Structure 1
Amino acid sequence: MTEKGMLKIIGRTKELIIVGGENVYPREIEEVLYTHPAVETVNVIGIPDQRKGEEICAWVLLHKNVQTTEDELRQFCKERNP
């Protein structure tokens, strides 16, 4: 955290998220989301989940004057699931 209270992300502590026993690579999800026309920046991390072990969390910054919804982004990713 900077002196002004801003967070600065400098890298990942883990390159793998384990969701319900399945290996998920955050970079792969980021690469898919970057192809969405509304997305300017995205970062994906794993957050603890009691039932699944970890849950996928994506922080998304949209381009100016562009709108989309969380559901639309989820569907976009599902349609491009490798």
Structure 2
Amino acid sequence: MKDLIIRGGENIYPLEIEEFIQTHTDVLEAYAYGVPDERMGEEVGISIKLKENAKLNVEDIKTFCKGKVSVCPVL
């Protein structure tokens, strides 16, 4: 498990993203990781486990992240 994702020369710490996503009331767990990308080197991917009966989609997570974290994960 890597402690650092390098996206276009920017250092991104997966733990910070995981901790932020987990502040959403419908999220039980989150795991951020690097996804290979030809142009950027890596993009941020995230796997999310929702709480029971929670219903979130990709757009909900993107909206939650917008303006609060520097990168919007690839879901």
- Counterpart contact for 1:29–1:77, Cα < 8 Å: no
33, 41, 49: which is aligned to 1:45? 33
Q: Which runs of 5+ in 1 are unaligned?
A: 1-11
Number of aligned positions between the proteins: 70
Q: Which runs of 5+ in 2 are unaligned?
A: 71-75
TM-score normalised by L of structure 1:
0.78
State the identity as a percent.
41
CA RMSD of aligned residues (A): 1.2
TM alignment of 1:24-43, pairs within 5 A: 24-43=12-31
Looking at structure 2, the residues matched to 30 and 58 of structure 1 have their Cα atoms a distance apart, in angstroms, of: 8
Q: Which amino acid aligns with 2:41?
A: G
In structure 2, the residue matched to 1:66 is 54
1:78 Cα offset (Å): 2.0
TM-score normalised by L of structure 2:
0.85
Q: Secondary structure at the match of 1:42?
A: strand
Which one has the largest radius of gyration?
1
